[in-house]
Structure 1
Amino acid sequence: RNNFTDLEDPMLLKTVPQKFCTTCGMPLILDGRYLPERLLGKGGFGTAFLAKDRRSPTFKYCVVKQFQPSSDLSPQQLATAQNLFEREAHVLEKLGNQHPQIPDLFAYFPLEAPGWQSSKPQQFFYIVQEYIKGENLETELAAKGQFSEIEVREVLQEILKILEFVHDHDVIHRDIKPSNIMRDDQGRLYLLDFGAVKQVTQNPGGISTGIYSLGFAPPEQMRGYTVFPSTDLYALAATCLVLLTGKEPQELFDSYSDQWRWKQFVSVSDELASILDKMLLPTPSDRFGSATQLLTALNPVSIPPIPQPSPVVSSSGTQLQPAVTSRFISPLELLSRAAFTGFEFGVLACLGLALYQKFGLSLIVLSMISLIAIT
């Protein structure tokens, strides 16, 4: 808690070089630009703050994620955590600026600060990204209760469209859950927190790092095996079950039979139940192979029937067969058509003989010319 009046005055804030914490000496204006205001959340490897950008004319809000792993991590764990944090920055830069429902990346930078109660300096890393004003689906579920089937279908549709884009760029999210889906003030859904992403192109067929959310991760991810697009689809289905039932995944999964037991808590259409069950199959190859396949299953194309002519009914109520109309051709008309055809052949024969005598065209070529002319 630092009392600096020039950080509260908009005009002074734009020009002040830097301010430091009076207790620990930490710079308060990150990268000389971002001023954290309040805590948004804290996870295993970092902390998220709401901050404002003093280089923006309106002091636009943004999210600053600070990477500060626990001091009791081994060097290998520390390297893994730092790699995951940096990977999120790369993915946000690659995807966020291309898709409207993935937060944009604004900055990524390291920072070294003097150690608090220690002579050893502290190393920090920061990600600055777009701030989505709204609430995540975990908070929404706690406030309003269970989602209806229509609401869950909406979540499925929107997140699948985002995953279709993400998977097409050879990226797997690996941490889909209600708290990582945000609904903004206009009702648009966003996919957040790419901290556990897997870039398939960097290490095809590689081993998972073991970063996942218990209850939402499928068997292959929990065992540290290769992950697939269907890995994200499994987690999305588990998310839908939580929204439909209002219960945690551990309450819905029967570890004794190794099956999901959720239908007793909610009533949905057979179509949606079948889709969710397939998404939750333990073997990746038995699930839907892609978000595109799943979108097709959710939105089957119906072929409109060919319209049939209305039946003709007599005055007595008997259905009549449609009349077949025909035209009578007189013998005189037949003779005139035959005479005209004979005249055409005569003209073609004379033309063919003349061409043969002058140019020496073969009979085959003459026959072809005759057929074309007749046609």
Structure 2
Amino acid sequence: MSYCINPKCLVRQNPSDIAACLACGTPLLIQQRYRLVQPLRELDELGQTEVFLTEDQGMLKVLKVLKTPKLLKLFEREAKTLQQLQHSGIPRVEPDGFFSLSIHLVTYKHSLMLHCLVMQKIEGQNLEQWLEQQGPISEAIAWQWLKQLVEILDVVHQHELFHRDIKLSNIMLQPGGQLALIDFGTAREVTNTYLAKVGSGREVTGIVSPGYTPLEQVNGKAVPQSDFYALGRSFVYLLTGKHPIDLLEDPQTGALNWRDAASQVSARLADLIDDLMAPFPGQRPLNTQEILQRLAPDFPSPQKPPSLASPRLRWLIILNLCLFLLQLITGFLWLQAKQQQNWDSYRDRDLPLPAQVQ
């Protein structure tokens, strides 16, 4: 089966062995190499993008089509971002993976310009789908997945970019157990111009995913630490099975009340997640390296007062008590012996005996 790329076509499904769409005549082999095999989400005439599973010389890839010029800047930014980043957890885009295509619309007597982005197909399922099937994750899995995602973000942030739309539906679990971060259409470059806009309060394109997006991003002032907030919220969802938007927030601090719904989580992990999603960017970790340091196995946990229930401490207390009692008894016996010696000395001299110490 081949699909017609023309969004205005009335019958887009075609046999796989023909060169042009039977309904509208649009070539089915795009750029002389790409054939649309099936849509990866429902084809909606009102939608601004369409995504297809695509065959490219025997390999399966993903082709995203932008139908309107309104989002062209974001689309171009996604292509540029993915071409820069090299990581197994980020979809690859070849240098010629972004192109424009003019479709002649016979019925409308004009042409339609489509913008296309071809990228690596990430196998597996997104974590929102996985969570619905498997339920909340254990702490051991949380440590592994958090480290993987922070390492991916480390690559992104080192290129002076940030994602701006981290959420479970944009994280893929691959068959080998590795995670991948997808949908870089909202990624933003940290340029001096962008920082000047944020600092002056001028309008910046806002990307909002309810439950995941921090307040500064809602206000159009996203920063790299905004990714940490969304990452923390994602792990709250994974550990509790509850969407962050369904959990209550502390009315005074703005902190998310989630720990009671994740009894399997240690204080060390919970503290890290709370730090990631602190209400203000300055309260969150400074960068990915700081998070990776806290994820290291030998990173010291916060010191807590030792419990009296500790066997080691209990024996230490007993030992000290025994030593104290031994010293007390020894001192008492020495004092008694000294008094006896004094009495014997006075008796030998026929002197009156001193009063006994009571």
Alignment TM-score, normalising by the size of structure 1: 0.69
Per-residue displacement from partner, 1:23-78 (whole Å, max 9, x unpaired)? 23333212121111111136953121111103xxxx01000011124xxxxxxxx4
Which residue of 1 is the match for residue 120 of structure 2?
130
Which residue of 1 is the match for residue 274 of structure 2?
277
Which residue of 2 is the match for residue 360 of structure 1?
none
Count of aligned pairs between the two proteins:
276
2:48·2:66 contact (CA, 8 Å) conserved in 1?
yes
1:239 matched to 2:234? The reply is yes
Letter in 2 for 1:269: S
Q: Which moved more, 1:147-156 or 1:200-209?
A: 200-209
Aligned partner of residue 238 in structure 2, secondary structure: helix
Per-residue displacement from partner, 1:209-267 (whole Å, max 9, x unpaired)? 11232211111100111x22211010000100111111112102438553312112111
1:46 matched to 2:49? The reply is yes
1:171·1:198 contact (CA, 8 Å) conserved in 2?
yes
Distance 1:177 1:2 in 2: 32
Distance 1:245 1:209 in 2: 31
Once the two structures are TM-superposed, the CA of residue 291 in structure 1 deviates from its matched residue by 1.0
Distance 1:2 1:217 in 2: 38
Q: Which runs of 5+ in 1 are unaligned?
A: 8-18, 70-77, 304-375
Q: 1:96-135 residue pairs with structure 2 within 5 A?
A: 98-106=86-94, 107-115=97-105, 117-135=107-125
Q: 1:154-233 residue pairs with structure 2 within 5 A?
A: 154-201=144-191, 203-205=193-195, 206-207=197-198, 208-225=204-221, 227-233=222-228
Once the two structures are TM-superposed, the CA of residue 3 in structure 1 deviates from its matched residue by 4.2
Distance 1:40 1:2 in 2: 14
Once the two structures are TM-superposed, the CA of residue 139 in structure 1 deviates from its matched residue by 1.0
Aligned partner of residue 90 in structure 1, secondary structure: helix
Letter in 1 for 2:288: A
1:27·1:113 contact (CA, 8 Å) conserved in 2?
no
Q: Which moved more, 1:227-236 or 1:42-51?
A: 42-51
Per-residue displacement from partner, 1:120-156 (whole Å, max 9, x unpaired)? 3211110000111111111111111111111122111
Per-residue displacement from partner, 1:178-203 (whole Å, max 9, x unpaired)? 11111111111111110000011373
2:250·2:257 contact (CA, 8 Å) conserved in 1?
no
Distance 1:137 1:22 in 2: 39
Distance 2:299 2:146 in 1: 20
Letter in 2 for 1:101: G
Distance 2:297 2:274 in 1: 18
Distance 1:63 1:141 in 2: 24
Aligned partner of residue 41 in structure 1, secondary structure: coil
Which residue of 1 is the match for residue 336 of structure 2?
none
Which residue of 1 is the match for residue 243 of structure 2?
248
Q: 1:12-31 residue pairs with structure 2 within 5 A?
A: 19-31=19-31
Letter in 2 for 1:164: D
Distance 1:215 1:302 in 2: 30
Once the two structures are aligned, what percentage of the paired residues are identical? 36
2:14·2:22 contact (CA, 8 Å) conserved in 1?
no
Q: 1:72-91 residue pairs with structure 2 within 5 A?
A: 78-79=69-70, 81-91=71-81
Which residue of 2 is the match for residue 36 of structure 1?
36
Task: Quickly say closer, same or farther: Cα 1:161–1:86, change in 2 above 3 A.
Answer: same
Distance 2:16 2:298 in 1: 62
Aligned partner of residue 27 in structure 2, secondary structure: coil
Which residue of 1 is the match for residue 284 of structure 2?
287
Match of 1:6 among 17, 31, 39: 17
Per-residue displacement from partner, 1:261-319 (whole Å, max 9, x unpaired)? 2112111100111111111111101110111101111226469xxxxxxxxxxxxxxxx
Task: Quickly say closer, same or farther: Cα 1:68–1:104, change in 2 above 3 A.
Answer: same
Distance 1:184 1:49 in 2: 19
Q: Which moved more, 1:206-215 or 1:284-293?
A: 206-215
Aligned partner of residue 191 in structure 2, secondary structure: coil
1:196·1:212 contact (CA, 8 Å) conserved in 2?
no
State which structure, 1 or 2, has the greater radius of gyration over its C-alpha atoms.
1
Aligned partner of residue 83 in structure 2, secondary structure: helix
Which residue of 2 is the match for residue 14 of structure 1?
none
Q: Which runs of 5+ in 2 are unaligned?
A: 1-11, 199-203, 301-358
Q: 1:300-339 residue pairs with structure 2 within 5 A?
A: 301=298
1:24·1:114 contact (CA, 8 Å) conserved in 2?
no
Once the two structures are TM-superposed, the CA of residue 119 in structure 1 deviates from its matched residue by 2.4
